[in-house]
Amino acid sequence: MKEKKPSLETGNTNRRDFIKKAGVAATGAVAASTAPYVYSATNPIKWRLQTYSGAPLGAHVILPQIEAFNRAAHGQMEIELYYADQLVATDELFRAMQNGTIDAVQSDDATMASPVDINVFGGYFPFSTRYSLDLPVLFKYYGLNEIWQEAYDEVKGVEWLGAGAWDPCHIFTKDPIHSLADMKGKRVFGVPTAGKFLSRYGLVPVTLPWDDIEVAIQTGELDGVAWCGFTEAYEVGWADVCNYALLNNVTGAWCGSYFANSKSWEKVPPHLQELFKLSIDISHYYRQVWYWGGEAKLRVEGEKMELTTIPADEWNQVVKDAEEFWDDLASISPRAARVVQIFKDYTAVMEKAGVPYRYS
């Protein structure tokens, strides 16, 4: 009996079936790989993020980042940005994020009353930095990253995503300050920790909604601000209602952070988490350049405020007083003491390094 040869038709049929099945499998694989994007493009992850800043300042300190993230997320996620007090009051930001009323926050620890023992080091901590670059170095190379992570790991429902530097702290007022005595009785809007320190010289810290500050200065409810540097004062309109700018700055950089509600963060896929962190880094870089250039330019070319200076012998006493203030706050907890020790160690290194790290 002769062996039956496979027919040409059967072979063609098998080949056609194989190609057909392979095509179906390939189509399924492509669909599977694109399904998350197709789904999220019609039903994206949506966040509500509120910043500490009002809209004029927010246009620089966060808006470019959020716009860039939304473009890069390619429809998979969209962040709605809200400015100071638009959804909740600034001092309620932390709790609102923790309970999920909002998904994320950009603020300093002190202003939004974070329930951690290191919150006093957020915002402006007197004389902890000289320049804006000091702050990221302290976080990356001197251990503050680990301490902040440790502190917020103890708080349920919140993720700390990183810190960065803003502008130095100057005092802008309607009436001039030429000496420490001139501070007495002046009511200023400011960040809590710096305000507490400056109150020993008679300055009166006042808390008001961010959008009310300009009118409060015009009406005399406030005498000025101790909240920012020259760049912000000009950008948001406070330079229009203040006549004088004190060149002696309390610290070199505001310390601000990004936070997210834990459940909201867990719903974001890893690649978008990484994208958001990258956008935070971009925001930090943007501010470093914007503030560094803006501060110098406006000190030299700004015409809206007259510059004043407290004499060196008086101001050196303020710097000396800060040492006692540091030690007082170190007593809050062992972790707070670790932060203060890091500031002391860093200051010693910078002073020994000399120019260009420290000039005096």
pTM for this model (two decimals): 0.86
pLDDT value, residue 17: 52
Q: State the pLDDT confidence band at 9, using cuts at 50, 70 and 90.
A: very low
pLDDT in tens, 307-346: 999 999 999 999 999 999 999 999 999 999 999 999 999 9
Q: pLDDT category, 360, cuts 50, 70, 90?
A: low
Q: What is the rounded distance in angstroms from the CA atom of residue 281 to the CA atom of residue 251? A: 22
Q: How confident is the model at residue 10 (pLDDT cuts 50, 70, 90)?
A: very low
DSSP 158-194: EEEEEEEE---EEEEESS---SGGGGTT-EEEE-HHH
Q: Measure the CA–CA gap between 110 and 255, rounded to whole angstroms.
A: 10
State the average pLDDT for the chain: 90
Note the pLDDT tens digit of each residue in 77-100: 999 999 999 999 999 999 999 999
Question: What pLDDT sits at residue 43?
Answer: 85
* CATH superfamily to which 44-165+254-293 belongs: Bacterial extracellular solute-binding protein, family 7 (3.40.190.170)
Q: What pLDDT, on a 0 to 100 scale, did the predictor assign at position 19?
A: 38
Please state the rounded mean pLDDT for residues 242-253: 97
**According to the model, what pLDDT value does residue 26 have?**
43
Q: What value does the mean pLDDT take over residues 42-56?
A: 94
| Residues sharing a CB contact under 8 Å with residue 148, sequence separation 6 or more, in sequence order | 118, 139, 160, 163, 257
Spell out the domain ranges in the chain: 44-165+254-293, 169-252+303-353
State mean pLDDT over 114-135: 97
Which has the minimum average pLDDT: 5-9, 208-212, 266-270, 321-325? 5-9
Q: What is the pLDDT of residue 359?
A: 81
Alpha-carbon distance of 6 to 26, in angstroms, equals 29
Q: Check for a shared fold between 44-165+254-293 and 169-252+303-353.
A: yes
Query: What separation in angstroms does the CA of 275 have from each of 69, 73, 77?
Result: 7, 8, 11
Q: Which CATH architecture has domain 169-252+303-353?
A: 3-Layer(aba) Sandwich (3.40)
pLDDT value of position 48: 98
For residue 28, what are its two tokens? 């399924």
For residues 41-54, average pLDDT: 92
Residue 27 has pLDDT above 70, yes or no: no
- Measure the CA dihedral 55/58/59/62, to 10°: -150
Percentage, residues of the chain above pLDDT 90: 86
DSSP string, 48-102: EEEESS-HHHHHHHTHHHHHHHHHHTTTSEEEEEE-TTSSS-GGGHHHHHHTTSS
Instruction: Identify which of 98, 153, 115, 184 has the alpha carbon closest to the alpha carbon of residue 332.
Output: 115
